[in-house]
Amino acid sequence: MTQKGKDLVSFFVLNGLLLLGGGIATWGFRRSQAIVEVSDNPTPLGYTKSLVLFLLPCVVFGFWLMKYLKSPMRHKAFWLTISILVPSGLLLDIFFGLEFFTFRNAGSVLGSISSWFTLWAYDFHNRGWVKFIPIEEALFYLLGFLAILLTYIWSDEVIFPGHKVSGS
């Protein structure tokens, strides 16, 4: 297959991932395009399902990374970056989540099934800890940072290989 053919296949695969992820994330919505009362749970586990938008690129680009990228230094840099970004995002949620977030539709997260799926957050107004942050927030940081970083690495190697700065 020519390079143009490979590029076209990559284009269709990436668009297919977006279509599949978007379909899974919105499948099961009962209503949309209007003000919806959240008391009747219009998007059951909607926040949980939306994480597939990050999960699919993680799986595809993660397998690609393991198969084609053999540099131990780049693997180490990848995991070092993830080990810094994910805890940083979680710490922001734990200490400032109550200031910025509201999760009015309790049925859209796994915390509606069990409190085990809810993380502790610090409440500065009452000066204490409360269970508030859905586990999906932690998964959002993990999968989001993984998907973005994997996409950057894949793009660097596949789409823009001729635009690199020499390491010397």
Among 22, 84, 81, 76, smallest CA distance to 49 is for 22
User: Whole-angstrom Cα distance, residue 120 to residue 131?
Assistant: 4
Q: Where are the domains of the chain?
A: 3-161
| CB of 83 closer than 8 Å to CB of 40 | no
pTM for this predicted structure:
0.74
Mean of pLDDT values over 145-155: 91
Q: What pLDDT digit, counting tens, does each position of 61-116 carry? A: 898 888 888 888 888 999 999 999 999 999 999 999 888 888 777 888 888 888 89
Mean pLDDT of the chain: 85
pLDDT of residue 5: 81
